[in-house]
Amino acid sequence: MQARTLLATLSILQILAICLNSTMGAWVLFSTLPICALGAIMLWIAIWFRWKTGIWLFIVVSTALFGYGLARILTLVHHKEVSKHPLNFTWYTLQCIIEIMCIIVAIWVLNETHDDDDKKSDDKEEKKGLMG
């Protein structure tokens, strides 16, 4: 349960990190915020209904947003514009850290859910008699 709560909190931080990136331009907000919001909604539904596919979709969305943030960081570093745009570099770095944490915790939740399912199936088999 703690992992699910942490993952829900990280999804809110993910949305806030995307909103903080809006200082670079409105197109950043309008291109990434809907994707992030859909990922968070899928995650919350997945947590509520214990829907593993929703968590996998959240991992895909988080990976895409991580790739976008990493590409923006590498662009700033490649063009040697980090000193000109330190705020952009900071926000994208913060976004990438949050995305990595989201992916790690989502995998943790999937493993935790998988372990719970294994325990339930083991309990059912233990309740059966040896003769069937």
CA distance linking residue 38 with residue 34, whole number of Å: 6
Q: What's the pLDDT score for residue 129?
A: 47
Asked if the model's pLDDT at residue 104 lies above 80, the reply is: yes
Share of the chain above pLDDT 90, in %: 41
pTM of the predicted model, to two decimals? 0.80
